Structures are given as structure tokens and as C-alpha cells.
């Protein structure tokens, strides 16, 4: 086996491109290996305080973006103007062209783009997916390339072993990775039992033809098939890579973090370890052949997806330099492996975990726990950890009583029919964009949110309105079946984690509601099983003029949903815990940035990242921001750049985490900045357009670029 790995490595070195020098930003995350690192050093610790606003570009709408721009030949490509792709002069922000999408678009790759060019540079393409259709755009003109796929489109629902018409959601919001003449893609399946399969696929960048597929729910004869029920691939989905992929361009290996199988919180329909859900997969980027894998959660019923990009570093380990891959996850662990063999750097222990008390649920008896490095997130939540900002005595007593009566036996306590504490919660730990590295120094920087959840399973029911019922009545039945478990019968939700839907029609139009339901927004995940007719019915219910007028629900029928004969289905809300002030009930910091030395497997420093403006105004500055999805970027200038939901962008000292520079921008931020050099100047470009659109009046976002004054630039 080691000989095979060595051969793959040698072939990759002979047939691949040179390592990326980290001085451009032509890829999502800066480079194929997802380093989120810039080798530019014009902006550095000595002159960071001189960094000034260089230009801004309004998004031209009030949509929510967390887009990582790319920059090629002095042109920055961004998303703005109602999900359009816009080319800007990278030195001034002046608009060059706009590629407009259908105004009714509900699905679009909105976190970044993929770029490819031919060797002679006569063909330059941008790739994104819209409404499950992959498309290629000419990078110079913004026009659709109609020779790609079928008149410019490749249907991503095809080739999955299911009826394409039955698949409502499969494309990811995150771009894939280009390797040679291949575009490698993951997918974002929905959160339902009948989810689409999470196959990893590669497409020819010129023709759009499928080059290879890897089945994350194995087919007969494939390794891992025995970890599922017979023919699970025909009905069970998920185990998908909705997050970020990384490529070792020298060896030709793509590293893929996968998420949980579906359903998220109950797995009686899928007994077994469920490979390749919750894995780090190493595949041959040319063929899709599995080289090795490691499963971080067996038979996941906690929604502990892996979605942060695997990070490729060279580390000094046991006296030798070793090429490594490190991943971080929602559960708060850092996992480090030999990049070629998959061997862990430090021991990983399989520890016994509690059993489920739900009939039919066969939890896996153990879960893996790395012995080094130490975790970056808190992994328990008790009444001793309650926030001091819960100042209302009655509310504090209610939360305390609720927690004390809940099942709380550690991080892998299985969800049940009574409340179950989950810490980190399913929206906690590390998320997409949440880690960056200095690939030569072996340092890793992880953004983590400490956000507990309280899960509770209920038997799944379907409420069916009368056949002659109105659209509003049928929408009520859909709401009660699918939405009420989180947003409550009175539509008041639990803001800000679960927004209120009272009078939502005054804030969103029907297309925006459809978009949020179909591919998620903020903390809400994607639910892609609604047909167009059902979305219209749901919207009719939510938008009805007299919301106090009773609807005819008495004649609706309620039935329990069963899977296989004798198998009752359960479901849970995502259990986000918030107080009446909208803050988490756990004591801060709610967001942290942790620096690791992965040569030693130790933590160098840890700081709160960001703040809550309302608390900062009262003198509380070390809380960390709330509900972040922050992407840091590390630079050769000794800095870490990050934007947070408190509308601030910051530059931190890599050595200590100290804030060296800080500015306020027009809107909240998610995702990562882009760092590039154009016209001799280094720019840091942020997308400040992440204000929520379901609470109050949404804000118009902007792209904001910073640079040193033109007459005061240090050379690298």
C-alpha cells in the first residue's frame, strides 16, 4: 500500500503544475490548497496603521452576500446586483461588465467562483452554478459560453442514480476546485430523509462532460458498502461535500471534507458506521479513485458536518519534515494526518459514548477523539456556564430548569424525545471559511463559535389540507408539517437564531422566501423538497393579508410518517439556544480565534474575535461576535485579516492576536477577504454585505478595498 502511495506522489510531481507561490488571488480562498494565505508583504506590521480606504463598490441591492472575490490581471470578480457576476477594475472598483442572472434565481454559487485558463491564455473561464445548472462564463466579456454543456448548461441533477425531476437541490453554495482541465465539485443536498446522494464529481472544463464520480454512499461492490443497509444508495442521501475542497496540485490529490448522512438527527433508516459520511477523503484528482479516508464521526446523528477546507502544510514531526493535511470540525477538534498515507500524527482514541433511548436507533458505540492538538471549542455546557448577560431572574431560572431536566452526558449525547444538550451545537465549532494557515511555518488559525443547541426528537407527521382547500390552507398544512418545529405555531420563532415570520411579506418577496427555504440563509439550512406549487402555497399562507383571521385547519388530516415497515420517523429542530436579548445562553466569548503550532500540536494563543455592538457600548469588549461565519486570511506581512458581524474589519498580529488596525464598514461581514496586488499596490478586499434580511429593513452592502497610500508603499 505504501508503494502505491509513493507511486501516486511521484506521478503527481512529474505531471502537475508547480506549487502555488501565494502571490495571486485567482481561486476561492486564494489558492488550490485553500491556505487562505497571501505571500504578499507590502502591507505588514510596520505600516498597517497607514492602511486606508482605496475604493468601494455598492452591491446595488439589499441581498445578502458572503462572497470571496477573485482577481485576475487587474480585474476583480464579485457578486452583486441581484446575484449577478460583476467584473471590476481591481484598482478603482470601476464596473467593467455585468453578467446578469434570472431575477427569479433561487439557487446560486454565492460564496465564490472557479477560474480556469488554457495554457496559451486564449480561453479564460469563470464557473458557477445557478438553479442546479453548472455554467461557464467568458472571463473577459462576461458572456455565457454556449459550447459548454447543452447550450451553456450542465444539469447537476443528472447522473446521480435518481430521477433528476425528483431532485430539488443538489448544487453547493461553495465553489469547487479546478485541477488541470477538470472542475471538481461537491454538492449541497437538502436536510430531508429522501435527500440527493452526495457524489463527488469532476467535469471537463471545456465540454462540461462528466469525467468521474465518487459515491459517498457506496454502491454494491465498492468499499464501505457494508457500513450501510443493503441498497442504501438508492434511497439515502447526504454524506456530501457542501463545504470547501483542497487540492495538492503537485501530487494530484483532492482532499474532501464530507457532511452527515440524512436525516441529520435520527439514523434508524441507516444502521452502520455510514461511510463516507463525516470523512476526510483523499481522492486521486484525475480519476476519483479513493486513496485513503478517515471518518471523524461514526453514524452521525448530531449534524457534525466537516465543511472547513482541509489545510495542507509541511510540518516538522518526530525530527523530520512531513507533508500534512489538517482539518477542523464542528465538534471542536483538530485532526492532523500524513498527507500521502493518511496516518494520524498523534494517537486517536475510540471512546465509548452514550446509547440512544429511541427504539430502532442503533448509535455507534464509540467515537474518535484525537489526543493532540487540544480542542479549540468548548465541548460541554452546564448551568455553571450560563451567561452573566441573562439578567432577567425569571428567564435565568427557566433556562436553568430546562437544562437541569435535559439529558446532558457529553458531546455525543444522542438526541431523544426529551431535551438533549449539544455542545458544540450543530451550528457551532468551525464552519466554512473558518481556518487559515501559514503553510511554511506550520501554524493554523481557527475561528470558532461556541453555540450550544438543545435537540428534541418528535415523531414526524404530515398534515394534509383538504383537496378543495385554499392555497392559504394548504400552505398552513405545509408550515405545520415542516416549519413549525422551529418557527413555532405563532410564527414568532426565536430571534435572531430563528427569525420571526410574522408579516414576513413586508420584508421579503416570494422569490426571496423561496430562496431561503430552498438553499438556506444564516443559521437556517437548506430544505429542497418543496415543489414550486408548494412554495407558492407556503408563501400564500405567510403573506396572507389578515394574519389574525383563522384558517380552516380543523378539516386537515394528520398522519405519522414511516420509513421501512414498522419504522417510525423522527425529526428535530436545530435547537439553537438564544435568550430574550438574542444572545447565546452560554457565557462569552461566543467567537474565538485560536492559533496552533502544528509542529508541536499545541495552542500558541487564543483570543475573543469581534464584539457585540450593544454590549461594547456598555464597556463589554471581550465577548466575541455573535453567530459568525468568519474567514481569516494570513499574510507574509505577519498579519491576519478578518471581518466580523459587528461591521468591523481588523488586522491582527500573527504572533499574539493583538489588534493592530480596525475599521468600521457599511454592513456585517461573513466569509473571507481577497488579497491581491494590482498596479504595484497590495489590496485587501472585503465583502461587507451580510446583514440579515429577515429581521427589520435589510441594509445595502458594499465591497470595500483597503491599501496603503499611493505615495507610502513599502516594497516586499
pLDDT digits (tens, 9 = 90+) for 623-681: 999 887 889 999 999 999 999 999 999 999 999 999 999 999 999 999 999 999 999 99
Whether residue 126 has pLDDT greater than 70:
yes
Determine the length of the chain: 716
The band of 140, judged by pLDDT with boundaries at 50, 70 and 90, is very high
Closest CA to 638 of 661, 665, 617: 661
Whether residue 502 has pLDDT greater than 70:
yes
The pLDDT value recorded for residue 7 is 42
The band of 8, judged by pLDDT with boundaries at 50, 70 and 90, is very low
Sorted by sequence, the CB contacts under 8 Å of residue 45 that are 6+ apart come out as 637, 638, 639, 653, 660
Whether pTM > 0.75 for this model: the answer is: yes
**Is 516 or 565 the better-scoring residue by pLDDT?**
516
The CATH number of 461-560 is which of 3.30.1960.10, 1.10.760.10, 3.90.650.10, 3.20.20.70?
1.10.760.10
Integer Cα distance of 669 and 648 in angstroms: 8
The band of 379, judged by pLDDT with boundaries at 50, 70 and 90, is very high
The pLDDT value recorded for residue 475 is 81
Beta-strand runs (E) in 598-715: 602-608, 633-635, 639-644, 648-653, 659-664, 674-678, 681-688, 702-707
What does the mean pLDDT of the chain come to?
90
- Buried b vs exposed e over 149-168: b needs ≥16 C-beta within 10 Å? beebbbbbbeebebeeeebb
Integer Cα distance of 639 and 634 in angstroms: 6
Integer Cα distance of 369 and 341 in angstroms: 20
Q: Which of 148-152, 483-487, 489-493, 555-559 has the lowest average pLDDT?
A: 555-559
Q: Where are the alpha helices (DSSP H) in 492-546?
A: 510-519, 532-542
The Cβ-side half-sphere exposure at 672, using a 13 Å CA radius, reads 32
* Residue range 381-404: mean pLDDT, rounded: 97
Residues 202/214, Cβ–Cβ less than 8 Å:
no
Integer Cα distance of 127 and 26 in angstroms: 12
Sorted by sequence, the CB contacts under 8 Å of residue 175 that are 6+ apart come out as 28, 109, 111, 112, 113, 114, 127, 128
Beta-strand runs (E) in 27-103: 37-38, 52-58, 70-72, 75-80, 84-89, 95-99
Beta-strand runs (E) in 110-258: 114-117, 124-130, 133-138, 153-155, 177-179, 182-185, 200-204, 210-214, 246-248, 253-257
Integer Cα distance of 44 and 55 in angstroms: 20
CA torsion, points 385, 390, 391, 393, in degrees to nearest 10? Answer: -80
Q: Which of 189-198, 256-265, 520-529 has the lowest average pLDDT?
A: 520-529
The pLDDT value recorded for residue 479 is 82
Q: Which of 201-205, 300-304, 350-354, 710-714 has the lowest average pLDDT?
A: 710-714
Sorted by sequence, the CB contacts under 8 Å of residue 618 that are 6+ apart come out as none
Every domain of the chain with CATH number 2.140.10.10 lies at 2-456+579-707
Fold (CATH) for 2-456+579-707: Methanol Dehydrogenase; Chain A (2.140.10)
Enter the C-alpha cell of residue 343: 496516518
Backbone angles phi, psi at 6, to 5 degrees: -65, -40
Residues 607/593, Cβ–Cβ less than 8 Å:
yes
pLDDT digits (tens, 9 = 90+) for 612-637: 999 999 999 999 998 878 899 999 99
- Buried b vs exposed e over 628-665: b needs ≥16 C-beta within 10 Å? bbbbbbbbbbbbbbbbbbbbbbbbbbbeebeebbebeb
Residues 522/671, Cβ–Cβ less than 8 Å:
no
Share of the chain above pLDDT 90, in %: 73
Sorted by sequence, the CB contacts under 8 Å of residue 7 that are 6+ apart come out as none
**Is 568 or 593 the better-scoring residue by pLDDT?**
593
Whether residue 572 has pLDDT greater than 50:
yes
Amino acid at each position: 500500500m505504501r508503494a502505491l502511495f509513493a507511486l501516486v506522489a511521484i506521478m503527481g510531481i512529474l505531471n502537475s503544475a508547480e506549487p502555488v507561490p501565494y502571490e495571486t488571488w485567482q481561486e476561492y480562498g486564494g489558492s488550490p490548497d485553500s491556505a487562505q494565505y497571501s505571500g504578499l508583504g507590502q502591507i505588514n506590521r510596520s505600516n498597517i496603521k497607514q492602511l486606508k480606504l482605496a475604493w468601494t463598490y455598492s452591491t446595488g441591492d439589499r441581498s445578502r452576500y458572503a462572497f470571496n472575490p477573485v482577481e485576475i490581471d487587474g480585474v476583480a470578480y464579485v457578486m452583486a446586483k441581484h446575484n449577478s457576476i460583476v467584473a471590476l477594475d481591481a484598482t478603482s472598483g470601476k464596473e467593467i461588465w455585468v453578467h446578469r442572472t434570472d431575477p427569479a434565481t433561487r439557487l446560486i454559487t454565492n460564496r465564490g467562483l472557479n477560474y480556469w485558463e488554457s495554457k496559451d491564455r486564449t480561453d479564460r473561464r469563470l464557473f458557477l452554478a445557478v438553479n442546479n445548472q453548472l455554467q461557464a462564463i467568458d472571463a473577459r466579456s462576461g458572456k455565457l459560453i454556449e459550447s459548454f454543456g447543452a447550450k451553456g448548461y450542465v444539469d447537476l441533477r443528472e447522473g446521480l442514480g435518481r430521477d433528476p425531476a425528483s431532485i430539488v437541490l443538489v448544487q453547493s453554495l461553495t465553489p469547487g476546485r479546478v485541477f488541470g482541465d477538470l472542475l471538481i465539485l461537491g454538492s449541497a443536498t437538502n436536510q430531508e430523509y429522501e435527500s440527493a446522494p452526495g457524489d463527488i464529481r469532476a467535469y471537463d472544463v471545456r465540454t462540461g462532460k462528466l469525467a468521474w464520480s465518487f459515491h459517498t454512499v457506496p454502491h454494491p461492490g465498492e468499499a464501505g458498502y457494508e457500513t450501510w443497509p443493503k441498497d442504501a444508495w438508492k434511497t439515502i442521501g447526504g454524506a456530501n461535500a457542501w463545504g470547501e475542497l483542497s487540492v495538492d496540485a503537485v501530487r494530484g490529490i483532492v482532499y474532501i471534507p464530507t457532511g452527515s448522512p440524512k436525516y441529520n438527527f435520527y439514523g434508524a433508516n441507516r444502521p452502520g458506521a455510514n461511510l463516507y459520511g463525516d470523512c476526510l477523503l483523499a481522492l486521486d484528482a484525475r480519476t476519483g479513485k479513493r486513496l485513503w479516508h478517515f471518518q471523524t464521526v461514526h453514524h452521525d446523528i448530531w449534524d457534525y458536518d466537516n465543511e472547513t477546507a482541509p489545510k495542507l502544510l509541511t510540518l516538522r514531526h518526530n525530527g523530520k519534515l512531513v507533508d500534512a493535511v489538517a482539518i477542523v470540525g464542528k465538534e471542536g477538534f483538530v485532526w492532523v494526518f500524513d498527507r500521502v498515507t493518511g496516518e494520524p500524527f498523534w494517537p486517536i482514541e475510540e471512546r465509548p459514548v452514550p446509547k440512544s433511548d429511541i427504539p430502532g436507533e442503533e448509535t455507534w458505540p464509540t467515537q474518535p477523539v484525537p489526543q493532540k492538538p487540544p480542542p479549540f471549542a468548548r465541548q460541554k455546557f452546564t448551568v455553571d456556564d450560563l451567561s452573566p448577560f441573562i439578567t432577567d431572574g425569571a428567564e435565568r431560572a427557566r433556562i436553568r430548569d430546562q437544562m437541569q431536566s435535559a439529558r446532558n452526558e457529553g458531546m455525543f449525547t444522542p438526541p431523544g424525545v426529551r431535551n438533549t444538550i449539544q455542545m458544540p451545537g450543530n451550528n457551532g465549532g468551525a464552519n466554512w471559511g473558518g481556518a487559515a494557515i501559514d503553510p511554511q511555518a506550520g501554524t493554523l488559525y481557527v475561528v470558532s463559535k461556541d453555540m450550544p443547541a438543545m435537540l428534541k426528537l418528535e415523531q414526524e407527521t404530515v398534515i394534509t389540507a383538504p383537496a378543495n382547500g385554499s392555497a392559504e390552507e394548504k400552505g398552513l398544512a405545509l408550515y405545520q408539517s415542516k416549519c413549525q418545529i422551529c418557527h413555532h405555531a405563532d410564527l414568532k420563532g426565536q430571534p435572531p437564531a430563528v427569525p420571526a415570520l410574522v408579516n414576513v411579506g413586508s420584508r421579503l418577496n416570494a422569490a426571496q422566501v423561496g430562496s431561503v427555504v430552498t438553499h438556506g440563509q444564516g443559521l437556517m439550512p437548506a430544505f429542497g423538497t418543496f415543489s414550486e406549487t408548494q412554495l407558492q402555497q407556503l408563501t400564500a399562507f405567510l403573506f396572507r393579508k389578515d394574519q389574525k383571521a383563522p384558517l380552516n385547519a380543523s378539516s386537515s388530516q394528520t398522519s405519522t410518517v414511516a420509513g421501512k415497515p414498522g419504522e417510525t420517523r423522527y425529526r428535530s429542530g436545530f435547537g439553537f439556544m438564544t435568550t430574550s436579548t438574542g444572545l447565546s445562553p452560554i457565557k462569552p466569548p461566543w467567537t474565538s480565534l485560536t492559533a496552533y503550532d502544528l509542529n508541536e500540536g499545541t495552542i500558541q494563543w487564543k483570543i475573543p474575535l469581534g464584539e457585540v455592538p450593544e454590549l461594547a457600548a456598555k464597556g463589554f469588549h471581550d465577548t466575541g461576535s455573535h453567530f459568525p461565519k468568519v474567514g481569516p486570511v494570513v499574510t507574509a506581512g505577519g498579519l491576519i485579516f478578518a471581518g466580523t458581524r459587528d461591521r468591523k474589519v481588523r488586522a491582527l498580529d500573527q504572533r499574539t492576536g493583538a489588534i493592530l488596525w480596525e475599521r468600521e464598514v457599511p454592513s456585517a461581514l461573513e466569509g473571507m477577504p481577497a488579497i491581491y496586488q494590482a498596479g504595484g499596490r497590495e489590496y485587501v478586499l472585503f465583502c461587507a454585505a451580510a446583514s440579515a434580511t429577515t429581521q427589520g429593513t435589510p441594509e445595502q452592502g458594499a465591497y470595500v478595498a483597503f491599501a496603503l497610500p499611493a505615495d507610502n508603499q513599502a516594497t516586499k
